Amino acid sequence: MENRNLTVEKISLVPMNGVGTDFCERLAPCLEERFFHKFAVEKPLTLSLTQANATRGQFFLNTVFNRMLAAFPRQDGLLLGVMAGDLYKAAHNYIFGDASESDRVAVVSTFRLRPEHNNEPPDDGSLFNRTLKECVHALGHAFGLKHCYNTRCAMYFSHSVHDTDGKLTYFCDSCDKRVRAANR
């Protein structure tokens, strides 16, 4: 009712490479609350390991974007992939996620967000919260937001999961204003 100024555009949530549909179905309402968009969970998409960099065992960001755009070619919304495989991009050994504003596509990797990755006991609540924060971050980029210096803001750049743990699952007031303006 309050949201008539925001364009109603669908965001498709794509479970990828080991991330379950149920996990994405839990993320969807949390993301809807933050972006005022309808989120639809799509059929899972699996990238074969031959599409990963053989020596690094990681997926290259642009390859992932291209596969997602090929699998979901329509232009009426925005794509957000959540994948279990490890991700990297040029000049970065790894990334938690990223987006292309012009191609309207974003992806988050849970690989390094799992507590087990840092030799901590498995913790589904922690994995979920970290993934939610990095999804909010990646979608922020998809809507044109840059990194924020506020360490509590979801748009703060995480150098490690400790930074992710220190962030909130929301934008700070100034990033929130920007994302709302971008959604008009």
Smallest gap from residue 49 Cβ to Zn ion (A) = 26
**If we measure between CA atoms, which residue out of 19, 14, 17, 22 comes closest to residue 40?**
14
Give the separation between CA 169 and CA 155, rounded to whole angstroms: 10
Window of 26-34, 102-110, 151-159, 160-168 that interacts with Zn ion by CB under 5 A = 151-159
The CB density around residue 180, as the number of other CB atoms within 10 Å, is 16
Are 137 and 80 in contact by the 8 Å Cβ rule? The answer is no
Residue 153 binds Zn ion, judged by CB under 5 A = yes
Q: With respect to Zn ion, which residue has the nearer C-beta, 132 or 153? A: 153
Q: Report the alpha-carbon angle 65-132-144, nearest 5.
A: 55
Interaction of residue 148 with Zn ion, rule CB under 5 A: yes
- Is 175 a residue that touches Zn ion (CB under 5 A)? yes
DSSP 102-117: TTTEEEEE-TTTSGGG
Residues in binding contact with Zn ion, number by CB under 5 A: 6
- Of the pair 37, 137, the CB lying nearest Zn ion is at 137
- Residue 19 found at the interface with Zn ion (CB under 5 A): no
Q: Does 142 bind Zn ion (CB under 5 A)?
A: no
Contact between 172 and Zn ion by CB under 5 A: the answer reads yes
Query: Applying CB under 5 A, which residues contact Zn ion?
Result: 148, 150, 153, 155, 172, 175
